[in-house]
């Protein structure tokens, strides 16, 4: 088994040196061919300068600079497409995901014959609102997108590199790696991992951005909002019939002789709201089709440092097992 570790980087100039040092130490101990790919997502600080220095100094490290900030998932896709080895591991750049836990992911892939494994933290290290927003996003993916493993999804994942062939045509600004991976396999598992608190700065994923991400997934990868608009129209129609029946019944009984302004105004407002909601959903879909037609790229690479050809390779003897540090479980035998 050979491993490519892909890390999207944004405002992480202080954490990258420590992260890369720990990563290379863990991967050396595993005695597997490996590389570390740092994808700098248009970070405004010195992240690119640090990543470039690490690519020159830290052995099997490659640095990729995107022309602007495209978002975490777009940066991940850029790194995944650059990966040269059999298994891709993705992780955050803030030291919350522990490099020492990578052998657990690799062991699960190899030992359980899985294609995709998520590292699920024992305890969430985020606040209440952030955790609630994250659970909302996962619920949307599970119900609307039909991804059964959605509730175990995390940014700390490992998967077989050939899965990227299932989304090689993926383009546009609204990219979601987990949805794309769900297109390629159903052999998905998870393992519990430890997760540290963020050591520097704060997360760029606010509850608002997480909910926006959920909306992007629903509108970009599912027809559920269109169905919801149809259901809304049906329910409003039933409600309109009920209101009409009530008005006719009261008129027949002589309870009213003049059509009530309140009833009419309420019905007009109700139907107008349903129509505007449906038009808004249709407009979102049409806007995305228009955006795709313009050919807007998912990302643009403007500079690379290092190459897969210069990656230092450490190959284990034939038939050898993965050899992690003491206390870390590993799998056996390549699939």
Q: Helical H runs in 86-168?
A: 102-111, 128-143
Lowest mean pLDDT segment, chosen from 91-105, 107-121, 257-271: 257-271
Between 258 and 175, name the one with better pLDDT: 175
Domain total of the chain = 2
Is 266 in the same domain as 245? yes
Residue 215 belongs to some domain of the structure: no
Is 229 in the same domain as 195? no
Is 69 in the same domain as 159? yes
Is 175 in the same domain as 147? yes
What is the rounded distance in angstroms from the CA atom of residue 158 to the CA atom of residue 185?
13
Is 90 in the same domain as 238? no
Query: What is the mean predicted confidence (pLDDT) over 43-70?
Result: 92
Q: Residue 269 above 90 pLDDT? A: no
Residue 48 belongs to some domain of the structure: yes
The pLDDT of residue 329 is 34
The pLDDT of residue 333 is 35
Domain range for 239 is 224-293
Residue 209 belongs to some domain of the structure: no
Residue 54 belongs to some domain of the structure: yes
Is 233 in the same domain as 286? yes
Is 232 in the same domain as 175? no
Is 239 in the same domain as 157? no
State the angle between helix axes of 16-30 and 102-111 in degrees (0 to 180), rounded to the nearest 10. 40
Q: Is the pTM value of this prediction over 0.75?
A: no
Query: What is the mean predicted confidence (pLDDT) over 129-153?
Result: 61
The pLDDT of residue 327 is 34
Is 188 in the same domain as 52? yes
Residue 214 belongs to some domain of the structure: no
Is 116 in the same domain as 238? no
Enter the tokens of residue 56.
């020159």
| Sheet strands (E) in 17-56 | 34-40
Is 142 in the same domain as 182? yes
Split at pLDDT 50, 70, 90, the class of 6 is very high
The three-state DSSP-derived secondary structure of 187-212 is CEEEEEECECCCCCCCCCCCHHHHHH
The pLDDT of residue 184 is 87
Residue 211 belongs to some domain of the structure: no
The pLDDT of residue 213 is 62
Q: Residue 326 above 50 pLDDT? A: no
Share of the chain above pLDDT 70, in %: 68
CATH number (domain holding residue 195):
3.90.550.10
The pLDDT of residue 237 is 73
């Amino acid at each position: 088994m050979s491993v490519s570790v892909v890390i999207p980087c944004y405002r992480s100039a202080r954490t990258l040196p420590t992260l890369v040092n720990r990563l290379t130490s863990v991967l050396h101990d595993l005695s597997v061919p490996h590389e570390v790919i740092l994808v700098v997502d248009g970070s405004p600080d010195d992240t690119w300068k640090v990543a470039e220095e690490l690519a020159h100094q830290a052995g099997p490290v490659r640095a990729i600079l995107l022309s602007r900030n495209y978002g975490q998932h777009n940066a991940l896709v850029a790194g995944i497409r650059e990966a040269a080895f059999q298994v891709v591991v993705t992780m955050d750049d803030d030291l919350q995901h522990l490099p020492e836990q990578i052998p657990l992911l690799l062991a699960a892939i190899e030992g359980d014959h899985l294609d995709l494994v998520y590292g699920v933290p024992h305890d969430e290290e985020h606040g209440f609102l952030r955790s609630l927003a994250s659970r909302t996003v996962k619920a949307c993916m599970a119900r609307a997108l039909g991804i059964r493993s959605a509730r175990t999804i995390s940014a700390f994942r490992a998967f077989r590199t050939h899965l990227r062939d299932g989304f090689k045509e993926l383009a546009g600004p609204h990219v979601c790696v987990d949805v794309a991976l769900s297109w390629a396999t159903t052999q998905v598992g998870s393992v519990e991992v430890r997760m540290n608190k963020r050591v520097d700065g704060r997360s760029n994923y606010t509850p608002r951005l997480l909910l926006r991400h959920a909306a992007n997934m629903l509108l970009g990868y599912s027809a559920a909002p269109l169905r919801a608009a149809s259901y809304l129209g049906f329910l409003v129609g039933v409600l309109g019939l009920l209101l009409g029946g009530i008005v006719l019944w009261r008129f027949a009984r002589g309870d009213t002789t003049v059509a009530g302004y309140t009833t009419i105004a309420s019905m007009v407002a109700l139907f107008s709201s349903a129509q505007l909601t449906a038009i808004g959903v249709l407009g979102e879909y049409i806007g995305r089709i228009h955006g795709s037609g313009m050919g807007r790229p998912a990302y643009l690479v403007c500079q690379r440092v290092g190459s897969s050809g210069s990656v230092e390779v450490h190959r284990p003897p034939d038939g050898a097992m993965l050899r992690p540090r003491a206390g870390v479980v590993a799998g056996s035998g390549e699939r």
